[in-house]
Amino acid sequence: MDKAAIIEMLRADMRGEHQAIIQYLNHAYSLEEAGVAPDIEAIAREEMRHLDWLADAITGLGGDPDMGRDEPDMLAAPAQEQMLKDVDLEQQAIDQYRRHIEAIDAPEIRRLLARIVHDEEVHQSEFRDMASKLVDHEVESGEGAGERLAAVLNRGIQHEYTVVLQYLYHSFVSNDCEEQEELQNAAINEMQHMGWLAEGLQEEGTQPAYRHDELFLSRDPVANLEADLAIEEEVTRMYSTQIPELPMQELKTLLSRVRDHEIYHADVFRDLLQDARERMASAADVAAPEMDVPSEPEPPAPAGPPPVPPIGSLIH
């Protein structure tokens, strides 16, 4: 099988992992009172690790990671039914990975997918156990957040979801270890923010939208970090404007904390951007051909006595 076909299979696997992350997080946020949210969030974190592994495999083959997703099931349902939906989603993933293992002839890719299948089988068992514990638990439905409050929190979720994906992609295609680590740390922190805001919305009885803005995806580290810095500065202004509007002090405190984290990310990105610009400038200097300096013409050889003819010529 050629590389292009393997890349497309792995990109499909990435979309499935992304789908699972959002579906599981949504279920965790809605089941906060049932005592299973930490277990579901732990599974979602493992799915994010799979996303990272698949992206590394794709870039190693010369391809671009896929930050799209298959559509998660976001419909409201009793707690046990939500867990059974997750059991089914794990089975879909297991079946797809096994098909890809059979089709792909690259040993290292087959080994990676087999490792992921093992995790998915464990997840499926864990969701079955949670379903058995939640037989009588009903998801409480509140009156719903007010229109403006829902708009503020959903806009925050939309931003956080956007930057999680954007920073992860930029880390996947980066060739600098420090840059990779800082971008992934930022993405993890932004996912925390998304969770805090989504839980706040769920507590008000409103379902988060889980939409994201257009992503800036390139392989240019300077352009990527410029975009990341710009979006952090923009959201800092947005949160600063929204904080006074919130009706509850708890939410004001939460959004202030998120805003302060964004200020920190912007500072980190400024340093990374400066480093990236310096690396690019150094690489350009090394790649630039040396200018040819015209050399002085060699002076003519001084005139001397005529050469001595060879011995053979004297015989004749």
CATH of the domain at 279: 1.20.1260.10
Q: Are residues 1 and 81 in the same domain?
A: yes
Nearest one of 173, 197, 167 to 185, comparing CA atoms: 167
Mean pLDDT of 240-254: 92
Residue 176 included in any domain: yes
Which range marks the domain in which residue 57 is found? 1-140
**Ranges of H-type helices in 61-146:** 79-103, 107-133
pLDDT score for 310: 44
Spacing of C-alpha 267 from chain mean position: 20
Residue 313 lies in a domain: no
pLDDT at 304 over 70: no
Same domain, 225 and 95: no
Task: Report if residue 217 sits inside a domain.
Answer: yes
Instruction: Specify whether 127 is located in the same domain as 200.
Output: no
Q: Band of the pLDDT at 138, cuts 50, 70, 90?
A: low
Asked whether 14 and 65 are in contact (CB, 8 A), the reply is: yes
Query: Both 160 and 178 in a single domain?
Result: yes
Query: Is 128 exposed, middle or buried, given 0-12, 13-18 or 19+ CB atoms closer than 10 A?
Result: middle
In this structure, the answer to whether residues 86 and 130 fall within a common structural domain is yes
Tokens of 21: 């992350």
The answer to whether residue 306 sits within a structural domain is: no
Tell me whether residue 162 is in a domain.
yes
| CA–CA dist 110, 97 (Å, integer) | 9
Give the global pTM. 0.85
pLDDT at 309 over 50: no
The reply to whether 242 and 259 lie within a common domain is yes
pLDDT digits (tens, 9 = 90+) for 166-192: 999 999 999 999 999 999 999 999 999
- What is the total count of domains within the chain? 2
